[in-house]
Amino acid sequence: MKITTVGLDLAKNVFQVHGIDDHGKVLLKKQLRRHQVSGFFVNLPPCLIGMEACGSAHHWARKLQGLGHTVRLISPQFVKPYVKTNKNDAADAEAICEAVGWRNVRFVPIKGVESRGALALQRVLQGLVKARTAQANQIRGLLAEFGVIIPQGIAQLFRKLSEVLEDATNELPDSVRALIQRLLEHLKELDRQAKEIEAQIAAWHGQNELSRKLAEIPGIGLLGASALAATVGNAKSFSSGRQLAAWLGLVPRQSSSGGKNVLLGMSKRGDAYLRTLLIHGARAVIYRARQNPQGSGWLHKLIGRRNANVAAVALANKNARIAWALLARDRQYRADYAAASV
């Protein structure tokens, strides 16, 4: 008997392996320590290995591919329906093994080291911006307790805070002034680190042809272009722009029964960070379009009959389809290009 398909449940230290043959007969159920994984699979004949697309999945996918195996990464949402019993490592490995054999399951593209590095910069920047915003809000909250109100925006906070600390006429006690000064220094450090990461992302963007190509699309900026290029690559794992938009969760959620079709809000599946970048970029384009009410294009007609949120999602969906066309068909963006479908 030869093992042809393996489900590998990843973990920090203990990995669960489930292997079957061509007829679905279980030939292997085994636990492996982390240091044993490479040695086990190097002695296993080439087979199909399925793993959930989690934190370390891309690392192990590249490693196992290097050993001659075919590796497929599956989104956890597609594995869950195959779990037959209570959740545990053995049941998860069995479910992965079963799910990886189905052809209609969408697999996650395996990313290279460069792409993972670019996405790591994006995630770190996201965390720094969140921490910076939280620190700024904390400072505003503390000052508000003493009747000091500062206008919105990080720039305004930096500009006004020095004046507030030097103003002897306000009610701030010396202990609070010292505390605010300490928090301000922390805020400046977060801002400095965020700008350094942004500069690194800009450098990666400038060296990546796919990212530069995507940045030509109105509504896709430096962050959106670099994140899309690092996540999707050449987009050939998607058969159409519609499929990419659906993968990003930019399509309506469906709830149909008895021949009655009901479309709800966004499905919100897939990469939430990418979806957020595309929608925020679309909002910026819509804001600019509202400044020119005399326009007569598709977007002006859309915002004339639908609210801003619906229009933003629709434009983000369209941009995702355009992005697929540029990547999968190796084209350059043309503002005057009109296709029947993307």
Q: How many residues does the chain have?
A: 342
| pLDDT recorded at residue 179 | 94
Say if residues 138 and 187 touch (Cβ distance below 8 Å). Answer: no
In the chain, where do the E strands start and end?
Answer: 5-9, 14-20, 26-33, 48-52, 70-74, 107-108, 252-254, 263-266
- Please report the pLDDT score of residue 340 as a whole number: 42
Question: In the structure encoding, which two tokens stand for residue 247, read together?
Answer: 């993968």
Phi and psi angles of residue 105, each rounded to the nearest 5 degrees, phi first: -85, 135
Q: Which residues pair with 6 in a beta bridge?
A: 19, 49
Beta strand pairing call for 26-33 and 14-20: antiparallel
Tell me the CB-side half-sphere exposure of residue 10, using CA atoms within 13 A: 18
- Dig out the tokens for 266 from the structure: 């966004």
Q: How far is CA 21 from the centre of its chain?
A: 35
pLDDT of residue 109: 84
3-state secondary structure string across 57-106: HHHHHHHHHHCCCEEEEECHHHHHHHCCCCCCHHHHHHHHHHHCCCCCCC
Angle formed by the axes of helices 113-144 and 174-207, to 10°?
160
Residue type, 273: Y
Helix 113-144 to helix 222-232 angle (10° resolution) is 140
Q: pLDDT tens string for the chain (342 positions)?
A: 789 999 999 999 999 999 999 888 999 999 999 999 999 999 999 999 999 998 889 999 999 999 999 999 998 888 888 888 888 999 999 999 999 988 777 788 888 889 889 999 999 999 999 999 999 999 999 999 998 888 888 889 998 898 888 888 888 898 999 999 999 999 999 999 999 999 999 999 999 999 999 999 999 999 999 999 999 888 888 889 998 998 898 887 766 666 666 566 667 777 889 999 999 999 999 998 888 776 667 888 888 888 888 999 999 999 999 999 999 998 899 887 754 444
What pLDDT was estimated at residue 263? 61
Among candidate residues 234, 270, 12, the one with its CA nearest the CA of residue 115: 234
Q: What is the pTM of this model?
A: 0.81
Partners of 50 in the beta sheet?
7, 72
Paired strand residues for 8: 17, 51
Output the six-digit token pair for 327. 């990547």
Distance between alpha carbon 176 and the CA centroid of its chain, in Å?
40
